[in-house]
Amino acid sequence: MTSGLTKGRWNRDLIRQRGLFIGQEHKHKGVNVALGPMMNMGRVAQGGRNWEGFGGDPFLAGEAAYETVLGLQEGGVIACAKHLVGKYAYSSLHFTFKV
């Protein structure tokens, strides 16, 4: 599963610490707004950006995003949560594969 948080147990403190470290890294680089966390549940494999999220479980995705936002803010940057609803509700895309 994505980001290693869905192994049966997960730790809110570690998720928040992860957000804190990401926030501190952004701050060190002079970035004021972090474009994340990605909160979509990534249930469509063709979405292509599922690795940014926290898996397909709605509770886990919400709680992990919450803790990440708090950690980012503790690190001194603004968190800009991405892809809240319907980002991967593809209905008119046609995928073609050439061999």
What pTM, to 2 d.p., does this model score?
0.73
Confidence of residue 1 (pLDDT cuts 50, 70, 90): very low
Distance of CA 15 to the CA centre of its chain: 11
What's the rounded Cα separation, in Å, for the pair 84 and 66? 13
81, 36 contact by CB (below 8 A): yes
Q: Give the tens place of pLDDT for each residue, 33-58.
A: 999 898 877 776 666 677 778 877 88
Average pLDDT on 11-20 reads 94
Percent of the chain scoring above 90 in pLDDT: 42
For the cut 60, the answer to whether the pLDDT of residue 18 exceeds it is: yes
71, 15 contact by CB (below 8 A): yes
What's the rounded Cα separation, in Å, for the pair 87 and 17? 27
20, 69 contact by CB (below 8 A): no
Average pLDDT on 6-21 reads 84
